[in-house]
Structure 1
Amino acid sequence: MPGIGRLTPAATLLAAISVLVTACTGQSGAEAADDPKADVTLNFWHGWSAPSEVKAIEENIARFEKAHPNIKVKVTDNMTDDKINQALRAGGEKAPDVVSSFTTDSVGKFCNSRAFADLNPFLRKSGIDKTKVFPKTLLEYTQFNGNQCTLPLLNDAYGLVYNKDAFKAAGITEPPRTWSQFAEAARKLTRTSGDSYEQLGVMPTFHGYETTPMRLAAQWSPAYFTADGKSNLAKDPAFAKMLTAQKALVAELGGYQKLEKFRSTFGDEWSTDHPFHKGLVAMQIDGEWRAAMAKEGGASFEIGTAPLPVPDDQAEDYGKGYLSGTVMGIAAGSRKQNAAWELVKYMTTDTAAVVAFANSIHNVPSTLEALESPDLRVSPEFKTFLDIARHPKSNTTPAQADGGTYQLTFQDFAYAVEKGDVSDLPAGLARVDQQIDTDIAKAK
C-alpha cells in the first residue's frame, strides 16, 4: 500500500495544528547551536505502516547511520498528524525531532504556526540550491510565504490507469487525450445491468477515491488565488469549466443517484476488492501505485497508464497532471536541529537514498537527479507518472495559512454541484471565494 496515497483529511488537523502557534519554540537554521558531530539520538516520526514501507524506511535509516555513526535514529511509525501535533505541543525528550507527513495540504499551517523550523538557513549552510535540486511544483507545496518549513520526500503524480482488455473490446485503440475523447470512451466502456452496471467506464463522482475536484481542476491549469492573495475561483473560468464538464459526465453515465448507488458497493481503496482490480471500472483516476497494486491484487487483464485528459482547447498541454507528496521537516522545538538537518538532508537530497526509497515503495522520486537516475526501476506503467512529474505544466494546490480548509470549502461546493443542488454556478463560486477569504484572514 502506498503511504502517500493515504492522505489524512485536512479537516481533522486544523485544530491540532493551530495550537502550535504559541507552543513551538526552539532553534532555527543559522541559530541552531548543537554539534552535529556529537553523539546524539534523534526521534523520527513518520506515518507509513505497511510492512514493506516500514522496512524501506528502516533500510534508509540504516544507510544514514552507517554514514553518520555518531547519530542514532529512533524511528516511530504509523504516526498520524494528530499524534505528531500533540507531541510537538507537549515537547520534551520524547517529542519528535524530525517529522514526515503525508498531509501536504497542511504545509501552510505548519509554516505559518512555526511548528516546523525554516529550512532555508540549513540549505544555505550546506550550499544547496533548492531550485536546482527539486522540481518547481514540489517546492511550491513545501513552503509558505518564503518559509521553507518542509522539503519533499518522494511525490505522487496523478494520471489514468485503464483496462486494456476492456478498451480492445470496446474498439478503443488508445487512451483519451482530451476531455471529449474521455467522455466518449467512458460511454463506450459502460455496460448497464438493470438499474446498475456490469462495467462502468469511469466513476466520475467526487467521492470516487482519488477523483477529487482538485485533481480534475489541475487539468485546466487553474489559479486558485490572485497576485494579492484573494480567492480566485469565480474569476478564473477554469473552475466553472471543470465543474460543468464533470457534472455533464455524471449525467451521461447514468446520473448522480445511480452512480452513487453503484459506488456504495465498492471495496476499500487499498484492498484487493478495489473495483478496478475486479474489472467493474474500466478507467481509474489514480496515482503511480495503482497499476502495481492491481497486478498484486490479482487483476486478470492487461493494464495501461496514461496522463489524464486535458480540456479540448488545451490539447497541446496533454501530459500534465496534479502533483502532491510526502513532506519532511524539523520540529521547531527540537534542541538537536543541526543533527536533525543531517537526517533530513540525507533523506530528501541524497540521490541514492531517494532512488532506493522510491524503488522500495513505488512512488515518484522528488529530486531532479533522482528522476533521471539509471538506478531507478521504471516499468512502462510507471514511466507515465515520471513523465507527468516532469511536465512543465503539472501543478498542485498552493499552500495557504489555513492549511487545507480552502480546498475543503471548494470540495464541499463541488459535491453540491454534482448533486444538482447549485442553480447558479457563478454566484456559488463567488460565495466560495468569500468564505475562503474569510477563513484565510482568520488563520493569519
Structure 2
Amino acid sequence: MPGIRRLTVAATAVAAISVLATACTGSASNTAADDPNKDVTLNFWHGWSAPSEIKAIEDNIARFQKAHPNIKVNVTGNMTDDKINQALRAGGEKAPDVVSSFTTDSVGKFCNSGAFADLNPFLKKSGIDKEKVFPKTLLEYTQFKGNQCTLPLLNDAYGLVYNKTAFEAAGITEPPKTWSQFVAAAQKLTIAKGDSYEQLGIMPTYHGYETAPQRLAALWSPSYFDADGKSNLAKDPGFAQMLTAQKDLVGKLGGYEKLEKFRTTFGDEWSAEHPFHLGLVAMQIDGEWRAPMAKEAGVKFEIGTAPMPVPDDRVSEYGKGYLAGTIMGIASGSKKQNAAWELTKYMTTDTEAVVEFANAIHNVPSTLAALDSPKLQVSPEFKTFIDIAKHPKSTTTPAQADGGTYQLTFTDFAYAVEKGEVTDIPAGLAKTDQQIDTDIAKAK
C-alpha cells in the first residue's frame, strides 16, 4: 500500500483541522529554548500502516538515533489527522512533537492556525537554503504565505500507467502524448461486452480512483487563484476546457451511467483486485506505486508508464504531471522543538535518509540531491515518475487558509458537470468561485 493519500482523507482532515484552528494557541515563530544535545524523548506520529512501511520508518529512526544517541524517539503509526489534531489540542507529554501527514491539502490550515511551528528559523539556523534542497513545486505545497510550517517527506508524481500487451493487441505503438491521442487510444482499447465492458480504455469518471479533477486540471496548468488571492476558476479557461474534455470522453466511452455501473464492479484501489491488475481497464492515471503493486499482484501482462497526455496546444509541455506528497512538521506546542528539528531535518533533508526511505516504500524522493542519487533504485517504470517530478512545468494545488475545502468545492462542481446536472459551465464556475472566496474569508 502506498504511503501517500490525498483527497481520500481530505474531507475528514479539513473538518478536524477546522476545530483545531479555533482551539490552537501555538505560535508560528521559533521560540524554542531546549538543548538538543541533552537526553530527550520525542513523540513522532505518522500515518503509515503497512508492515513494509512501518519497517521503513523504524529503520530510518534507528539510523537517526545512532547518529543522535541522546535523542530517543517514540514512534506511533497509523495515526489519522483527526487523532493527531485531537492530541495537539490536548497537549501534554503524550502529544506528538513531530508529525507526518498524508494530507498535503491541509497545509494552509496547519500554517494559518499555528498548529505547526514555522520552520524557516530552523532552516536558517542550520544554514539550509530550502530553494537549493527541495524542488520548487514541493515548497509550494508545504508552506502558506511564507510560513514554512511543513517540509516535504517523499513525493508523489502522477502519470499514466498502461497495459502494454493491450496496446499491442489494439495496434497502438506508443503511449498517447496529446489529449486527442489519449481519447483515440481509450476508444480503441475499449471492448464492449453486452451492456458493459470486457475491457475499458480508461475509467474517465472522477470517482475512478486517481482520475480526480485536480489531476486532470494539472494538464492545463491553470491558476486556482489570481494575484489578489481570489478564486480564479471562471477566469482561467483551463478549468472549463478540462471539464468539457473530460465530459466529452465520458460520452465517447459509453456515458456516465454505463461507466459508473461498470465502476461499481471494481475492487479496492489498494488491493490486488484493482481493475488495472485484472485487465478490466487498459490505462490508469496513477502514481509511482501502481506498477510495483500490479507486479506484486501477479499481472500477466507487460506494464508501461508515461507522463499524462497534455492538451493538443500544449504539446511542448509533455512530460509534466501533478505532484503531491507527505508532509512533516513540528508541533508548535512542543517543549522540545530544537530536538524535534534534528529529527525533522534528518528525515527531510539528509540525502541518504531520503533515498533509503524512498527505496523502501517506492515513493519519489523529495530533495534534489536524492532525485539524482546513484543509490536510488530506479526501474524503467519508476524513472517516468522521477522525470515528472523534475519537470519544470509539473504543478500542484496551492495551500489555502481553508485547507482542502476549496478543492472539495471544485470537485463537487466537477461531479455535477460530468453527471449532466450542470450545462452552463462558465456560470457554474463563477458561482463556485464565489463559494470558495466565501469559505476562505471565513477561514481567515
Question: Normalising TM by the smaller chain, what interval?
Answer: over 0.9
Q: Distance in 1 between matches of 2:21 and 2:114?
A: 6
Instruction: Tell me what 2:65 maps to.
Output: 65
Q: Distance in 1 between matches of 2:82 and 2:129?
A: 32
Q: Distance in 2 between matches of 1:23 and 1:94?
A: 18
Question: How much has 1:12 moved relative to structure 2?
Answer: 1.2
Q: Distance in 1 between matches of 2:8 and 2:254?
A: 31
Gaps of 5+ in 2: none
| 1:212-227 pair list within 5 angstroms | 212-227=212-227
Q: Distance in 2 between matches of 1:100 and 1:266?
A: 31
Letter matched to residue 330 of structure 1: I
The CA deviation string for residues 321-370 of structure 1, in whole angstroms up to 9 with x for no partner, is 00000000000100000000000000000000000000000000000000
Instruction: Tell me what 1:193 maps to.
Output: 193
Q: Distance in 1 between matches of 2:30 and 2:405?
A: 32
Q: Distance in 2 between matches of 1:245 and 1:20?
A: 39
Instruction: Tell me what 1:279 maps to.
Output: 279
Aligned in 2, Cα 1:8/1:193: closer, same or farther, shift over 3 Å?
closer
Instruction: Tell me what 1:136 maps to.
Output: 136
In the alignment of these two chains, the number of paired residues is 444
Instruction: Tell me what 2:269 maps to.
Output: 269
Q: Distance in 2 between matches of 1:178 and 1:53?
A: 36
The CA deviation string for residues 357-392 of structure 1, in whole angstroms up to 9 with x for no partner, is 000000000000000000000000000000000000
Aligned in 2, Cα 1:163/1:119: closer, same or farther, shift over 3 Å?
same
Instruction: Give yes or no for contact 2:28–2:149 (8 Å, CA) kept in 1.
Output: no
Q: Distance in 1 between matches of 2:389 and 2:101?
A: 20
SS in 1 for 2:378: coil
SS in 2 for 1:36: coil
Q: Distance in 1 between matches of 2:192 and 2:317?
A: 34
Instruction: Give yes or no for contact 1:30–1:125 (8 Å, CA) kept in 2.
Output: no
The CA deviation string for residues 156-189 of structure 1, in whole angstroms up to 9 with x for no partner, is 0000000000000000000000000000000000
The CA deviation string for residues 282-311 of structure 1, in whole angstroms up to 9 with x for no partner, is 000000000000000111000000000000
SS in 2 for 1:31: coil
Q: Distance in 2 between matches of 1:330 and 1:93?
A: 14
Instruction: Give yes or no for contact 2:141–2:396 (8 Å, CA) kept in 1.
Output: yes
Q: Distance in 2 between matches of 1:435 and 1:115?
A: 25
Q: Distance in 2 between matches of 1:110 and 1:28?
A: 10
Letter matched to residue 369 of structure 1: A
Q: Distance in 1 between matches of 2:330 and 2:397?
A: 23
Question: How much has 1:22 moved relative to structure 2?
Answer: 4.7
Instruction: Tell me what 1:299 maps to.
Output: 299
Instruction: Give yes or no for contact 2:47–2:102 (8 Å, CA) kept in 1.
Output: yes
| 1:30-429 pair list within 5 angstroms | 30-429=30-429
Letter matched to residue 272 of structure 2: T
Letter matched to residue 365 of structure 1: P
TM-score when normalising by structure 2: 0.99
Letter matched to residue 396 of structure 2: T
Letter matched to residue 168 of structure 1: E
The CA deviation string for residues 89-148 of structure 1, in whole angstroms up to 9 with x for no partner, is 000000000000000000000000000000000000000000000000000000001100
Q: Distance in 2 between matches of 1:7 and 1:405?
A: 10
Letter matched to residue 399 of structure 1: A
Instruction: Give yes or no for contact 2:42–2:97 (8 Å, CA) kept in 1.
Output: yes
Q: Distance in 2 between matches of 1:76 and 1:24?
A: 22
Question: How much has 1:23 moved relative to structure 2?
Answer: 3.5
Letter matched to residue 369 of structure 2: E
Question: How much has 1:17 moved relative to structure 2?
Answer: 1.1
Question: How much has 1:7 moved relative to structure 2?
Answer: 5.3
Instruction: Give yes or no for contact 1:233–1:429 (8 Å, CA) kept in 2.
Output: yes
Instruction: Give yes or no for contact 2:267–2:275 (8 Å, CA) kept in 1.
Output: yes
Instruction: Tell me what 1:10 maps to.
Output: 10
Instruction: Give yes or no for contact 1:160–1:283 (8 Å, CA) kept in 2.
Output: yes
Instruction: Give yes or no for contact 2:221–2:395 (8 Å, CA) kept in 1.
Output: yes
SS in 2 for 1:115: coil
The CA deviation string for residues 249-276 of structure 1, in whole angstroms up to 9 with x for no partner, is 0000000000000000000000010000
SS in 1 for 2:154: strand
Q: Distance in 2 between matches of 1:30 and 1:13?
A: 25
SS in 2 for 1:13: helix
Letter matched to residue 11 of structure 2: A
Q: Distance in 2 between matches of 1:188 and 1:126?
A: 55
SS in 1 for 2:223: coil
Aligned in 2, Cα 1:313/1:384: closer, same or farther, shift over 3 Å?
same
The CA deviation string for residues 53-110 of structure 1, in whole angstroms up to 9 with x for no partner, is 0000000000000000000000000000000000000000000000000000000000
Aligned in 2, Cα 1:339/1:28: closer, same or farther, shift over 3 Å?
farther
SS in 1 for 2:140: helix
Question: How much has 1:30 moved relative to structure 2?
Answer: 4.1
Q: Distance in 2 between matches of 1:157 and 1:11?
A: 22
Q: Distance in 2 between matches of 1:433 and 1:383?
A: 37
Instruction: Give yes or no for contact 1:27–1:334 (8 Å, CA) kept in 2.
Output: no
Letter matched to residue 51 of structure 2: P
Q: Distance in 2 between matches of 1:275 and 1:21?
A: 40
Question: How much has 1:19 moved relative to structure 2?
Answer: 2.8
Q: Distance in 1 between matches of 2:150 and 2:277?
A: 35
Q: Distance in 2 between matches of 1:206 and 1:30?
A: 42
Q: Distance in 2 between matches of 1:181 and 1:54?
A: 41
Gaps of 5+ in 1: none
SS in 1 for 2:282: strand
Question: How much has 1:3 moved relative to structure 2?
Answer: 1.2
Instruction: Give yes or no for contact 1:225–1:231 (8 Å, CA) kept in 2.
Output: yes
SS in 1 for 2:155: strand
Q: Distance in 1 between matches of 2:157 and 2:53?
A: 19
Instruction: Give yes or no for contact 2:26–2:116 (8 Å, CA) kept in 1.
Output: no
Letter matched to residue 131 of structure 1: E
Letter matched to residue 310 of structure 2: V
Question: How much has 1:28 moved relative to structure 2?
Answer: 5.7
Instruction: Give yes or no for contact 1:175–1:306 (8 Å, CA) kept in 2.
Output: yes
